[in-house]
Chains A and B, each alone.
Chain A
């Protein structure tokens, strides 16, 4: 019952966002039916395109989980982008420097990525819990630092510049590659890893005492403290996990899709994670679907560009609008009340 209501609100929010998006599309002189047709076709029409959607959804799933775990603890990790870059770089580093047997190598690389992200989550977590520094400012600032740092590492003056003309590292060893799920596409097993992690996170949040404590801290830190929860360590833990999840997302993207670290490899998956986490209403299983939606928007966005219907960035506008409506469930409830009142009174009340 409650789940249905939540779902209803999300569906209406998405519809509202797309509706306003359609208005903007028309206002800027593009064909609304063509845009929506290409959007859907580009995301779902054949095996290749579905694979493309899933490929795009994979890092977004990780960053969505990253956002929501912090959110559940009452914190805002809006620096997943930077954590993603760091995770990606360190996974790549482990991928081309260590030599290990096949499966183990992948695991180690993923671990390196997660650890790098975790460090980048720990700093703002610690600063928040111990020094009271706004984590939504510090995560953002550290995100810039991480992006510039990794960018320097692969720049011509940096130590890991591994290519003649592109700012990227050397290719990772084949033992570190996350294999492709469907040959001929970019879709790797990273999506399965993401799904498993989402399940684990769900179990942690709703079926483990530590998860209960983390949610308690998010809802009411004073009551949590009263209930014997150590608030500051829990907040730090949440940010470390958030960083690790984003880092893992970067690692899976590098190991599965690019096979080397490339400067600016993420077109904003970190930001998409904020959107994904919010659309999922901070639920790990919901995040799977939210990431699919975001991935479809990205994949469909490229398609509308290729088809010459409209610029791909229209999809980003749609995404922004959807989020704006998703964060205000009261709006939907308000609209519902107005409609009901109209039905009862035959006219809106002043």
Chain B
């Protein structure tokens, strides 16, 4: 069934959109990532104009994260206090990110920089997670179900001032690192047009030392508000939020997220992380190949003065 999207001004198959939404929704529920880093390139591939894809994706992430976060609230796996600290940073970061984006647009190389950002961050994070979870699995196999030897390192993070108790995470750390994580993710969210969960989740695990089960719900909590903010910015400045596209993606997405959350609970944290790492690396590889191999068509056409 073909459906005409009023803002994107293209006609696409409605079931294709529902399917894409569902698939990305499952991943969203499993890993606590918004799925934007997968969905945005997928939307480009089916012919949605990039500006519309990025803006609509922000809107869709709000929905898929909302149902996900509700599920996590019920299981009490959301650290609200940590979420608020991340959120304050995230909103400030997103506001700055939009300014940076506008600047890059004027310089004319926004496309390349977005791609390079993807390759760089996905590559580093995917690689680190893959190695780490591989080691964790190896360790748990050789030592049986023994408790993890190194719980948390007391490093420079614990020397910072403004300490706060995060009871749900079982942490007593400075608010500065989570604020900076939120801020940084906010900038990237605005520039790359994603929720930023794929960066925030590992940052929370490895940098802040939060327990994996709490990380997913808390990052979803932050993502909802940052992407809602981004949606409003896109809707009022670029008019690129496509409501019909968003509804189709999210109908698939919310159903997928519920299924994903249930799968996630049943899986071991290490397995979850190695899967996410592999997926991140796959997307990274695809984007890197696009940059490295000679394209079949050297020319591209963008509408508007500056694309």
The judgment on whether A and B are partners is: no
Which B residues are closer than 8 A to A by beta carbons? none
